[in-house]
Structures are given as structure tokens and as C-alpha cells.
Amino acid sequence: MSTSAPEAVLDATASGRGAPRHVAVIMDGNGRWAAQRGLPRREGHRRGVEALRRTVRAAGELGIGILTIFSFSSENWSRPPSEISDLMGLLRRFIRNDLVDLHESNVKVRVIGERSTLDPSIAGLLREAEDLTRDNTGLVLVVAFNYGSRQEIARAAQRLAAEVAAGRLAPEAITAELIASRLDAPDLPDPDLIIRTSGEQRLSNFLLWQAAYSELVFVPLYWPEFDQAALEGAIAEYRRRERRFGGLAAAGAGT
Ligand code: IPE
Ligand code: IPE
Ligand code: MG
């Protein structure tokens, strides 16, 4: 963003020894942060956007290649209309106010989630963010918006079923790799590390397929409190983990 040095943002393929290449974050606890202070929930969401700015900057400085953020879930539509309108307003403002800074910082924006049912003006802003930053080579910021992992997998299944129905694909040719190739961002590697703030310990329909071998770190801070030190703490915890991918320690540890 404006204060970060673009040269500090590494290429998506770069990773330090033992550093996570792809970090995904479930930004949770805005409402509780506000309630604790006697503030309206929307103030928690507003402060959550500030935490997001800090986190994008920190991810760039720490050399993370890909940062995926869970911004709005398929199930969040069940919240009261006033809160949904606050969240949509914040997304609009974030793109309007921050897109130029992100672009200047060489950030490449990607979006995952169901777009066809979104308000056309929101879908247009998401498209604009992707189009403007398409050729950038720094941090890849994946915005999961109107995202639900079961819905994403169902969309992939629909695409494959259509290919089978058209006679272009044999059912027995459907492999795990083929399903993965029809997900929303098939070119990106699975997250190495998934962080959830607020103390809740669940995935809430986030990246269920991609999280097969992700390390999960649960941070006891509300999202508006999250900062570079908290990100570094989660990465330090990740580095202490032994990844085995079903194999044995010697063969599976490290990447
Ligand atoms: C995360 O904070 C933001 C979104 C889910 C959009 P919450 O709004 O879930 O805050 P809590 O979990 O109620 O504290
Ligand atoms: C997950 O948080 C969704 C986002 C962070 C956007 P929720 O607050 O919606 O999840 P639950 O309802 O506590 O599982
Ligand atoms: Mg929540």
C-alpha cells in the first residue's frame, strides 16, 4: 500500500526457507471487538478494514507470495440487512479508496466466490480491481467474497458434469486433480497456513478442498486487533509445525 516499498513485495513463486508461500486468513471477531467497547458492529467492521490494510502491507514486507482473505461468506447473507449493507458499503469504499494504492504497490488482486448473483455494481468493482492489477507481479491478494467452499466445489462439479453430458469427458477420468482444476482459482497453490482470529476454531466453509494439508493457526485476537506482530507470531507457529503430507517426517518435513 502507499507506505510499503514495492520492491519488498516478492514474486508469488518466492518463499524463504520454511516460510509459507500462501497464507489464508479468516478475519473474524469484528462484532465482538465492537461489542466489548460498547460500539456498533459496523465500527468493528470499519476497524477491520484498517487491520486488513496493515495485514496486506505486512504480508508484502514478510515476502508472502499469496494472501487470501475471507471477506464475506455465502452464509453471511443471513445477517440483518443493515449489517449486510454496511459490509457491502465497506467493500465498495475499500476498492474505491485502496485500489490505486494496491496497484502502485504491485499487488495483484484476484477474487474467488460466486459472482453471478452479486449486485452488478459490486461485481463490476471486483472485475475492475482484477483488470487493473492483472499484470502486477507482487503480492497476490485473493479476496474471497460471497464465497463458500461447498458452493465452489458444487460449481466445479457442475462444470465437469456439463463436460460429461456433452460427451467430452468420461466419468472415470474425473480425478482429484481435475476437480481442483475447475475450482475458482485453480492456478494458485493450496494455502500453507490458514489463520483464524477471534479464538473460534472452525473453517466456516472456507477453502475446505484446498485446506487438506494446510496448517491451522487460531489467534486469540479479534480481527481489528490483528497486526504485523500477530502475523509474524502465526508464521513462527507455522514454522514450528512438522508437515508430513501423509508421509514420514524425514520425507515430508519442509517444502
Ligand atoms: C468478521 O467479523 C467479519 C465478517 C464475517 C464479515 P464478524 O462480523 O463475524 O464478528 P463476530 O464474529 O460477530 O465477532
Ligand atoms: C467466517 O466468519 C466468514 C468471514 C470471516 C467472512 P463468520 O463469523 O461468518 O463464521 P461463523 O458464523 O462464526 O462460523
Ligand atoms: Mg464471526
Residue 254: pLDDT over 60: no
Q: Is residue 43 part of a domain?
A: yes
Q: Is residue 183 part of a domain?
A: no
Q: Helices H, strands E: what count in the chain?
A: 8, 6
Output 17 or 70, whichever has higher pLDDT: 70
The average pLDDT across 131-147 equals: 98
The average pLDDT across 115-119 equals: 97
The average pLDDT across 91-95 equals: 97
The answer to whether the annotation marks 172 as part of a ligand binding site is: no
> pLDDT by residue (tens digit) across 8-66?
333 333 344 589 999 999 999 999 999 999 999 999 999 999 999 999 999 999 999 99
Ligand number nearest CA of 31 is: 1
Q: Residues with Cβ within 5 Å of ion ligand 3?
A: 28
Question: Which residues contact ligand 1 via a Cβ below 6 A?
Answer: 27-32, 72, 76, 87, 198, 223
Output 9 or 250, whichever has higher pLDDT: 250
Q: Is residue 128 part of a domain?
A: yes
Parent domain of 64: 19-149+190-239
Output 1 or 109, whichever has higher pLDDT: 109
**List of residues 6+ apart from 220 with CB closer than 8 A:** 198, 199
The average pLDDT across 150-179 equals: 98
Q: What is the pLDDT of residue 13?
A: 37
Instruction: Report which of 68, 147, 161, 77 is spatially closest to residue 109, judged by C-alpha positions.
Output: 68
**CATH number of the domain bearing residue 116:** 3.40.1180.10
Residue located nearest, by CA, to atom 3 of ligand 1: 28
Q: Is residue 55 part of a domain?
A: yes
Residue 116: pLDDT over 60: yes
The answer to whether the annotation marks 203 as part of a ligand binding site is: yes
Q: What is the pLDDT of residue 249?
A: 81
Confidence grade of residue 107 (pLDDT, cut at 50, 70, 90): very high
Percentage of residues in the chain having pLDDT higher than 70: 91
Q: Is residue 137 part of a domain?
A: yes
Q: Quick one: DSSP state of residue 141? A: E
**193-197/140-147 β-pairing:** unpaired
Question: Is the CA virtual torsion 80, 86, 89, 91 positive or negative?
Answer: negative
Q: Is residue 6 part of a domain?
A: no
The answer to whether the annotation marks 202 as part of a ligand binding site is: yes
**List of residues 6+ apart from 26 with CB closer than 8 A:** 70, 194, 195, 196, 197, 203, 204, 206
Residue 251: pLDDT over 80: no
Question: Which residues contact ligand 2 via a Cβ below 6 A?
Answer: 26-28, 70-73, 76, 200, 202, 204
The average pLDDT across 208-235 equals: 98
Q: Which string of b and e fits 122-160 if b means at least 16 CB within 10 Å?
A: bbebbeebeebbeebebbbbbbbbbbbbebbbeebeeeb
Q: Does residue 28 have an active-site annotation?
A: yes
Query: Per the structure, how many domains does the chain have?
Result: 1
Q: Does residue 131 have an active-site annotation?
A: no
**List of residues 6+ apart from 98 with CB closer than 8 A:** 1, 53
| Conformational region of residue 212, where left means phi above 0, alpha means psi within -120 to 50, and beta covers everything else | alpha
Q: Is residue 67 part of a domain?
A: yes
Q: Quick one: DSSP state of residue 6? A: G
Average pLDDT, the chain: 93
Which residue blocks in the chain are alpha helix, DSSP H? 30-36, 41-61, 81-104, 120-133, 149-165, 176-181, 228-240, 249-252
Q: What is the pLDDT of residue 17?
A: 53
Q: pTM of the predicted model, to two decimals?
A: 0.92
Distances (CA, A) of 70 to 5, 73, 129, 159, 247: 25, 7, 17, 24, 30
Q: Is 80 exposed, middle or buried (0-12, 13-18, 19+ CB in 10 A)?
A: exposed
Q: What is the pLDDT of residue 18?
A: 83
The answer to whether the annotation marks 215 as part of a ligand binding site is: yes
> pLDDT by residue (tens digit) across 178-207?
999 999 999 999 999 999 999 999 999 999
Ligand number nearest CA of 149 is: 2
Residue 1: pLDDT over 60: no
**List of residues 6+ apart from 217 with CB closer than 8 A:** 193, 194, 195, 196, 234, 237, 238
Instruction: Report which of 168, 242, 2 is spatially closest to residue 99, judged by C-alpha positions.
Output: 2
* Calpha distance 185→98 (Å, rounded): 23
| C-alpha angle 185-100-134 in degrees, rounded to nearest 5 | 30
Residue 252: pLDDT over 90: no
Active-site choice (28, 86, 184, 192)? 28
Confidence grade of residue 250 (pLDDT, cut at 50, 70, 90): low
Distance from Cα 174 to the centre of ligand 3, integer Å: 35
Q: Is residue 173 part of a domain?
A: no
Q: What is the pLDDT of residue 119?
A: 96
